[in-house]
Amino acid sequence: MSESKLADRFLDAAIGLLRRVRDEESAAVAAAGTAIADTVTAGGRLFAFGAGHSSLAAQDVVYRAGGFAVMNLLTVPGTVGVDVIPATLGSALERVEGLAAAALDVSPATAGDLLVIVSLSGRNALPIEMAQHARALGLTVIGVTSVAYATETEPRNRTGTFLKDHCDIVLDNGIAVGDAELTADGIGTPFAPASTVVTSALMQAMMATAAGVLAERGVEPPLLRSGNVDGGPEWNVRIMDENRDRIFYRR
C-alpha cells in the first residue's frame, strides 16, 4: 500500500471520529461549556490536567490565541510529557498513588474552581485520584477520556474504578483501546494514533461553547488574541490585567 493511501486512511479515520463526537457528545460538550461559563461568571479559576500525551490536549487550551486567559495548566512534575528522561518514567509515575493529592494540595486550585482532567485510558491512579481529591476540595471536575477502556480493560488502581466514575461531566472521545487507527501488510502492530486530534477538538468545542454562553449572558469571555496580529499584545495585556487573580502561568 502506498504511503499516500495510508495518509488518506488515517485522515478519513480521524474525520470519522470527529463526526462521531460531534453527533454523540453534543450534550456533554454543552454541559461542560456551561459549567466552565458558570465558573468564570462566579469568579472561579479554570485548570486543565493531563499526563503523558494526554497533557498535549490539556496544554492546547492554556495561554493560546483564541483561548481563555483564565485556563491554567495543572502539572505533576515528571508526568507532563516526553521531555522527562527516561520517557518511561512518566508512565510509571501515573501509577504511583498519592501524587495527585500532593499536587492539588500545593496548587492554587480551591473550592468553586473547575478542573478538566484528560486521560485516554482513565485507568491509572494519577487521574483517578486527581478527580477524587478535586471533588473533595469542592472543584467541579470534567473528564475527557475513552469510555471504551472502562469496558474492555481492567482498572489499574486500588479503587477498581475509572476516571469516568469520578467526574461531574464526562466527554467520551470514542477512541478504541490501543489508540491506533491503522493496520497494514508488513507492519506488525496497529499504528497511527488519533486521540490527540479528537481530544483536542473536544476541548476546543467545549471552550467555544463556554465563550458563547458567556456572551449570551452579557459577559465578555476572557479570550486572548494572537500576539502576531496588530493590537494583539495590547489586547492581551488588558485581559491579563483584568484577570490577574485567576492566572497562574505569569508573574
- The pLDDT profile of the chain, 251 residues, written as one tens digit per residue, is 566 799 999 999 999 999 999 999 999 999 999 999 999 999 999 999 999 999 999 999 999 999 999 999 999 999 988 888 899 999 999 999 999 999 999 999 999 999 999 999 999 999 999 999 999 999 999 999 999 999 999 999 889 999 999 999 999 999 999 999 999 999 999 999 999 999 999 999 999 999 999 999 999 999 999 999 999 999 999 999 999 999 999 87
Write down the pLDDT at residue 215: 98
Write down the pLDDT at residue 3: 66
Residue 224, CA distances (Å) to 13, 185, 206 in order: 32, 46, 16
Round to whole Å and give the CA distance between 36 and 115: 9
- Tell me how far apart the 2 most distant CA atoms of the chain are, in Å: 58
Residue 154, CA distances (Å) to 92, 96, 124, 133, 181 in order: 17, 17, 10, 22, 22
Three cell numbers at 148? Answer: 471504551
Read off the pTM.
0.95
